[in-house]
Amino acid sequence: MCGHCFIVPRDVLERLSRNDSLSATVRKGMARTAKLDIELRRLRAQNHRLTRLGMRLAPVPAPAAAPPVPQVLVADCQHGTTLPGVPVPAPGKSSDATARTVFDETTALARFYAKAFGRNSIDGAGMTLASSIHYGVDYNNAFWNGVQMTYGDGDGRIFLDFSRGNDVIGHEITHGVTQHTIQLGYTNEAGGLNESLSDVFGSMFRQWQAGQDVTGADWLIGKDIMGPEATARGFTCLRDMADPAAGHCLAPQITHISQFKKGMDPHHSSGVPNLAFTTAAKALGGKSWERLGQVWYRAMTGYRPSPNMKMAAFAERTRKAGATLYPGDAAVAGALDQGWRKVGL
């Protein structure tokens, strides 16, 4: 699945495939390999299109009242970058703490989606949740590649093991849910919304596990993966959903739609919907996933895919979803209004 799994670059293969000094069999093999490389690079984009087509042709059936928890798999990259890596047998009982954590937290997240939103896994139909751990060497990142989650160990100085953050795990898996529902792109305003949905559901998962209401929540993203050098410098998180531009964030964000610029990194522009959600959640009170989370979930999953959605349209969609889910509830409508007005929407 990874694009750099070919040792010989495509153009070298193509050149060799035309080299008359090589046998016809070898030349044919080179041409086949070069072609395979091209196709693998296209695979990721195709996967997105396939998801969309599959949903159009065979919509996911409405889930049962209490969907089962899907199968959870963990593989070990053993510090290489070939995905998925070597399967970890019985990861919940592994001697590898990272494998256990990823298995436990992924299972818990599946329960969160099932109990709080009636969702059965990423695709709503019980998709196996696959994760790879120990990706690369001192790798300071975690990502969703279209079919699975991947976690680096961190370098131990700026970042710790990325799987230590239950919000990080929630963030990555939610990218999968987004891919299978609203299908937001990853550039411009849609990209910012995509990132924000992952922060919002990652944070709600963290609050759900801790049994916190909106006043007890810290609204920080990445608090548990900050390494000693970062904390010594006063950085407490990657992002603060309640105060996106704060100095204690490693990557401060914009806080108003007027600050948005085309081409902006989604992790920077997601500050706008993050702040809208947090402001609305605080205005509404209680537990974030109980009412406001339901509105956000409906906005994410209850409409046609919207790959190029703008933030104003998403705001309008949440207002519509709020009115549908909680008709006549002035508190919900007021909280949504307060949240979106704060960011200029």
Partner 1 sequence: MTDDGEGASGGRIDVERIGGLAGFGGPGARIRSRGTLPLSALSRADRATLDRLLGQAGPAPPMPDEFLYRITRQVGARVLSVEVAESEVPAVLRACVRDELL
Based on CB atoms, which residue is closest to partner 1, 162 or 219?
162
Whose Cβ is closer to partner 1: residue 240's or residue 292's? 240
Q: Least separation, in Å, of the C-beta of 267 and partner 1?
A: 3
Q: Which residue lies nearer to partner 1 by CB, 251 or 333?
A: 251
Could you give the 3-state DSSP secondary structure of residue 238?
A: coil
**Residue 66 vs residues 176, 203, 326: alpha-carbon distances, Å:** 21, 22, 22
- Least separation in angstroms between CB 14 and partner 1: 10
What the block records as the tokens of 83 is 């995905």
Residue 187 or 338 having the CB closest to partner 1: 187
Active site residues: 172, 267
* SS3 label, residue 278: helix
9 phi and psi angles, rounded to 5 deg: -65, 155
Residue 169: CB minimum distance to partner 1, A: 11
> Least separation, in Å, of the C-beta of 310 and partner 1?
17
Question: DSSP labels for 14-29?
Answer: HHHHT-TTS-HHHHHH
- Token code pair at residue 253: 């964000």
CB 165 within 8 A of CB 224: yes
- Rounded Cα distance between 168 and 203, Å, is 9
Per 3-state DSSP, the chain is made up of helix, strand and coil in percentages (nearest 5) of 50, 10, 40
Chain-centre distance of CA 233, in angstroms?
A: 27
125 vs 251, beta carbon nearer partner 1: 251
Give me the residues paired with residue 240 across strands. Answer: 220
Q: Label the pairing between strands 220-221 and 142-144.
A: unpaired
Alpha helices, DSSP H, located in the chain: 10-17, 24-57, 97-117, 166-180, 188-210, 228-232, 266-269, 271-284, 292-301, 311-325, 330-342
From the CB of 178, what's the least distance to partner 1, in Å?
8
Cα separation, 100 vs 93, whole angstroms: 6
Closer residue to partner 1, CB minimum distance, 246 or 325: 246
Site residues for partner 1 per CB under 8 A: 2-4, 8-12, 41, 44-45, 140-146, 155, 158-159, 162, 168, 171-172, 175, 178, 185-187, 194-195, 198, 222, 229-230, 233, 235, 238-239, 245, 249-253, 264-265, 267-268
Query: What is the closest distance, in whole angstroms, from the C-beta atom of residue 234 to partner 1 in the complex?
Result: 10
